[in-house]
Structure 1
Amino acid sequence: MHEIIKDIVQLLYPAPERSRYPDRIELQQVRKELKARRATAMAAAHQKAAETDPLEDKLRELSALKAEIENQIALLVAYGRHFVRPRPYQLSTLADATQLSISGVRGISNRRSTCERVAEILGRSDVKGNIRPPVKPDLARSLANLARLDPKPP
């Protein structure tokens, strides 16, 4: 198990390339930081190794991180296409920034659930007014009470 953990740490925290650090002092600092990161990762992996497989555990952790990043990208793409004023970002601009195809960006930005989540988080409608944030229950109750108190015109 120790060998697997050591290999995983080495793969995830590879030695710096000398050519990237022409300054010897900077290279030494990077190596020192890397050594500390590796030691921390090794200790954490050994602690978990008694309970789980270190490779499977790291893959699960990275997959969860990937899913979170994909969710954040989707929120930002939907925001860029539907909530930015006065004009939305172009599909090609967002495609370049996300390294997705234009159709991929279009698919992400047109997911209603994602747009609704953006509206909910920001607390405002999209530019066209098609997607509105949900009304909070307390606000809905207050509005209903106001409607009852508001005298109706004759």
Structure 2
Amino acid sequence: MTQWDIFTDVAAILYPIPRPEPGEEDFDGFLAARDQAAEDQQHAVENLRAAWEEGDQDPLIGALATARRAKEEAEQRIRGLLAYGREFVQPRPYTLGDLAAAAGMSISGVRTAYGHRDVAQVADATGAKPREWRAPHPDDRSATA
């Protein structure tokens, strides 16, 4: 009977060992992926234990906080890519439908997913100039009121 070990369990959730698909033709590729996942699990166990022993950081809470940060960073990248596709691509932007399908969002979700700050970040990152922005900036509204 194995003893419960939160470090090993959290690592297994973070880096699951893949299972071969029935009739999988690239068995060597599967073996490489399995070995990589096992190695990633071992490193995660070591890092989780070290964080616990050195800083008294709970392994589950730490993993959740890390996953949340990764999610927020991914959401920021999605907003930037959507802004690029709608505001920078010339002569016509990508359609809302194409971007919605690729991002797993609704058309209205794409329309409201990004704002002026996201457009400015894309402009800074790429050096590109956005097409004319049609929506008023919140600061513009307060200046006329």
TM-score, reference length from structure 2: 0.78
CA distance in 1, matches of 2:43, 2:117: 39
Aligned residue number for residue 48 of structure 1? 51
1:115 aligns with 2:119: yes
1:4 aligns with 2:24: no
- The runs of at least 4 consecutive aligned structure 1 residues that moved more than 6 Å come to none
Q: Measured at CA, do residues 120 and 4 of structure 1 come closer, stay the same or move farther in structure 2, by a change above 3 Å?
A: same
Q: Measured at CA, do residues 9 and 87 of structure 1 come closer, stay the same or move farther in structure 2, by a change above 3 Å?
A: same
Aligned residue number for residue 125 of structure 1? 129
Structure 2: unaligned runs, 5 residues or longer: 135-145
Q: CA RMSD in A?
A: 2.2
Percent of aligned pairs sharing the same letter: 32
Deviation at 1:23, TM superposition (A): 5.0
Deviation at 1:116, TM superposition (A): 2.0
CA distance in 1, matches of 2:97, 2:26: 39
CA distance in 2, matches of 1:24, 1:116: 46
Aligned residue number for residue 138 of structure 1? none
Deviation at 1:22, TM superposition (A): 4.7
Deviation at 1:118, TM superposition (A): 1.8
Instruction: Report the count of equivalent residues.
Output: 129
Which structure has the higher relative contact order (CA within 8 Å, separation 6+)? Answer: 2
1:13 aligns with 2:15: yes
Per-residue Cα deviation, 1:39-88 (whole angstroms, up to 9, x for no partner)? 11111111001220000001111111111111111011011101101100
CA distance in 1, matches of 2:110, 2:92: 17
